[in-house]
């Protein structure tokens, strides 16, 4: 298990696949949050998130698209690398975007590998059930941990006729249950269950040995995942029923930026406190040595 010194003293123990497995056995809930950059990753990691998902939801909340479909594997790797730099404890999962794993098991394996070798992730997630089982088996066979994802599949938004709750009829519930079993049997070490009725999620949780992580699936799962922009209140135009906002960052950020704009216009920022102070200038020496600048601006 990797450990790194925190503030030069306390070691931070990285969450691993065995840690997550043991959490399910002990009945300890798993907290998973999406992250897309280093600063948010650091903040959510310090908050105690067990897993950080570099979700393709970044297509919607970061890129402003109306679905996750346009997100590319290169964009995902870029964000994953940033998240990996920010997080010291959480298990980092890279989300395989649309068309990065459906063409063949070989394509899936190559792209899953990129998440670990280039993106610094510890595992990957991919959407699909029975149809994705062989792909999962192939990725797991080389030692890459896989998180499955069944129920509402955002990459199948057009086939589902929108972002709709799945498994409402008996027949559809049986399909979702079969998907969950197929993913677990293929070797996934955890399973995201999205947008299904709570009783179906409870049945999946009880029948599978691997941890289930719910989103819009009720309280019976072994863990929960939310998009960080949703839980922090950064999505002013979206209020899905399954989201609880734990902060109002958008409103706070807008008000803070407005105060800054007002202060600039009024000439009340910067004050002396934010200036470096005048210096007595002498003639420049003729011979200078250059040194590399640190950070992105002077500090004194
Ligand atoms: O992309 C994502 O953020 C996800 C979660 C909603 C599970 O897949």
DSSP string, 84-122: HHH-SSSEEEEEPPTTSSSS-HHHHHHHHHHHHHTT--S
User: How would you write the pLDDT of the chain (300 residues) with one tens digit per residue?
Assistant: 344 555 556 789 999 999 999 999 999 999 999 999 999 999 999 999 999 999 999 999 999 999 999 999 999 999 999 999 999 999 999 999 999 999 999 999 999 999 999 999 999 999 999 999 999 999 999 999 999 999 999 999 999 999 999 999 999 999 999 999 999 999 999 999 999 999 999 999 999 999 999 999 999 999 999 999 999 999 988 888 999 999 999 999 999 999 999 999 999 999 999 999 888 888 776 655 545 445 666 666
Q: How does DSSP assign 26-75, residue by residue? A: HTPPEEEEE--SHHHHHHHHHTT-SEEEE-TTHHHHTT--SSSTT--HHH
Q: Who lines ligand 1 at CB under 6 A?
A: 34, 53, 55-57, 95, 192, 194, 215, 225, 227
Q: How far is the CA of 154 from the centre of ligand 1 (A)?
A: 8
Cβ neighbors of 100 (< 8 A, separation 6 or more) are 72, 73, 76, 107, 108, 111
Q: Which helix (H) or strand (E) holds 3?
A: strand 3-6
Q: Are 130 and 148 in contact (CB under 8 A)?
A: no
**Tokens standing for 127?**
């959407």
Contact 230, 221 (CB under 8 A): no
Distance 3 CA to ligand 1 centre (A): 27
Helix (H, G, I), strand (E, B) or coil at 93: strand
The pLDDT, as a whole number, for residue 282 is 83
Q: Whose CA is nearest to atom 4 of ligand 1?
A: 55
Residue found under tokens 């699909």: 128
Q: Is 190 helix (H, G, I), strand (E, B) or coil?
A: strand
How far, in Å, CA of 269 to CA of 261, rounded?
Answer: 9
Q: What is the pLDDT of residue 164?
A: 95
For a ligand 1 pocket test, name from 31, 57, 65, 153 the mutation site with the most ligand atoms within 8 angstroms of its C-beta: 57
> pTM for this one?
0.92
Ligand 1 site-directed mutation target among 225, 226, 230, most atoms within 8 Å of CB = 225
Ligand 1 center–CA 193 separation, angstroms: 10
Which residue's C-alpha comes closest to atom 5 of ligand 1?
55
Q: Do 52 and 79 meet the contact criterion of CB atoms below 8 Å apart?
A: no
- If you take atom 1 of ligand 1, which residue's CA is the nearest one? 55
Q: What's residue 1's pLDDT? A: 39
Closest CA to 127 of 103, 107, 156: 156
**Ligand 1 center from residue 197 Cα (angstroms):** 18
Candidate from 67, 68, 163 with most ligand 1 atoms within 8 A of CB, to mutate: 68
* Options 46, 194, 209, 283, the catalytic residue: 194
Our answer to whether residue 272 is catalytic in this structure is: no
Atom of ligand 1 nearest to the CA of 56: 1
């Amino acid at each position: 298990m990797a450990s790194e010194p925190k503030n030069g003293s306390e070691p931070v123990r990285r969450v691993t696949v065995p840690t997550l497995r043991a959490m399910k056995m002990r009945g300890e809930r798993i907290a998973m949050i999406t992250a897309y950059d280093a600063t948010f990753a650091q903040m959510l990691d310090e908050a105690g998130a067990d897993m950080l998902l570099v979700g393709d939801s970044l297509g919607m909340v970061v890129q402003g698209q109306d679905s996750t479909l346009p997100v590319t594997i290169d964009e995902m790797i870029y964000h994953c690398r940033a998240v990996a730099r920010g997080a010291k404890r959480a298990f980092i999962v890279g989300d395989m975007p649309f068309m990065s794993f459906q063409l063949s098991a070989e394509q899936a394996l190559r792209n899953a590998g990129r998440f670990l070798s280039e993106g610094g992730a510890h595992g990957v997630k991919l959407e699909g059930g029975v149809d994705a089982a062989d792909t999962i088996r192939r990725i797991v066979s080389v030692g890459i941990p896989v998180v499955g994802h069944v129920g509402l599949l955002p990459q199948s938004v057009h086939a589902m006729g929108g972002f709709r709750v799945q498994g409402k009829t008996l027949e559809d519930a049986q399909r979702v249950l079969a998907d969950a079993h197929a993913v677990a049997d293929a070797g996934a070490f955890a399973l995201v269950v999205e947008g299904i009725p709570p009783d179906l999620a409870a049945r999946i949780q009880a029948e599978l040995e691997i941890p289930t992580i719910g989103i819009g699936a009720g309280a019976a799962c072994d863990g929960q995942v939310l998009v960080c922009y949703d839980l922090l209140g950064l999505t002013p135009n979206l209020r899905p029923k399954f989201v609880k906002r734990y902060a109002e960052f958008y409103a706070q950020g807008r008000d803070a930026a407005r105060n800054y704009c007002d202060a600039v216009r009024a000439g009340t920022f910067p004050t002396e406190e934010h200036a470096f102070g005048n210096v007595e200038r002498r003639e420049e020496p003729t011979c200078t040595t250059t040194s590399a600048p640190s950070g992105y601006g002077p500090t004194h």
